[in-house]
């Protein structure tokens, strides 16, 4: 049985607010802020959700451990980003959803020591949520916040609880 979690209108409003700290500035400024944070915190995993942030880090010698991309930036198709990956997982995830297939791929990637690129046919926006739940504590999960910057989330048990509440509030359909 395939289960899909759907975003409700109430949750859509709630998720418009960043889940973490927003880094602002030029691409180079943001990359340098992330580089400093990574050097200081030494996270067990760096997870990027979105093509722009994944590309920006990969092009600046900050290879994420997990990249979740859909080959689109601001809903416009782009060439696939060239980032080093030991394994590539292809999944389907329609807009406004988290599919079981997406959930399982992210959980597999967060437990693996292999650098993983997850290519989404559909939309990757909500996949920040399972990435936070699956990533080891102290990991960094990064995603773009349109017209604002990059959101950085340090994974903690408290953040995982908050995200589980959001996921549990989503509409489940089998």
| Structural domain includes residue 71 | yes
User: Which residues are bridge partners to 92 per DSSP?
Assistant: 121
The confidence score (pLDDT) of residue 2 equals: 58
Model pLDDT, residue 151: 98
82 belongs to a structural domain: yes
CA distances from 135 to 8, 82, 129, 154 (A): 25, 23, 10, 10
Cα separation, 66 vs 64, whole angstroms:
5
Task: Please report the pLDDT score of residue 96 as a whole number.
Answer: 94
Structural domain harbouring 116: 20-173
Spell out the alpha helix ranges (H) of 24-69: 27-41, 51-58
- Is residue 57 assigned to a domain? yes
User: Within a domain: residue 8?
Assistant: no
Q: Please indicate, yes or no, if residue 129 is contained in any of the structural domains.
A: yes
One digit per residue, pLDDT tens: the chain, 174 residues?
A: 558 999 999 999 989 999 999 999 999 999 999 999 999 999 999 999 999 999 999 999 999 999 999 988 877 878 888 778 999 999 999 999 999 999 999 999 999 999 999 999 999 999 999 999 999 999 999 999 988 999 999 999 999 999 999 999 999 887
Structure token digits, residue 76: 């416009």
- CA distance to 81, 110, 135, per residue, from 53 (Å): 11, 18, 18
3: in domain: no
Domain count, the chain: 1
* Letter string b/e over residues 36-54, b meaning 16 or more CB atoms within 10 A of that residue's CB: ebeeeeebebbbbbbbbbb
Q: Is residue 11 part of a domain?
A: no
Residue 9 lies in a domain: no
pLDDT at residue 146, rounded to an integer: 86
């Amino acid at each position: 049985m395939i289960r899909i979690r759907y975003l409700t209108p109430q949750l859509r409003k709630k998720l418009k607010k960043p889940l973490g700290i927003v880094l602002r500035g030029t691409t180079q400024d943001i990359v340098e802020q992330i580089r400093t944070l990574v050097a200081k915190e030494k996270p067990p995993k760096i997870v990027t959700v979105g093509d722009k942030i994944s590309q920006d880090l990969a092009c600046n010698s900050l290879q994420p451990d997990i990249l979740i991309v859909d080959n689109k930036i601001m809903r416009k198709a782009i060439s696939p980003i060239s980032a080093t990956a030991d394994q590539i997982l292809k999944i389907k995830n329609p807009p406004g959803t988290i599919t079981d297939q997406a959930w399982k791929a992210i959980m597999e990637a967060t437990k693996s020591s292999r650098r993983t690129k997850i290519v989404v046919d559909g939309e990757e926006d909500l996949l920040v949520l399972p990435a936070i739940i699956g990533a080891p504590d102290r990991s960094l999960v990064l995603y773009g916040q349109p017209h604002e910057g990059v959101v950085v989330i340090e994974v903690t048990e408290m953040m995982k609880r908050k995200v589980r509440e959001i996921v549990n509030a989503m509409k489940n359909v089998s």
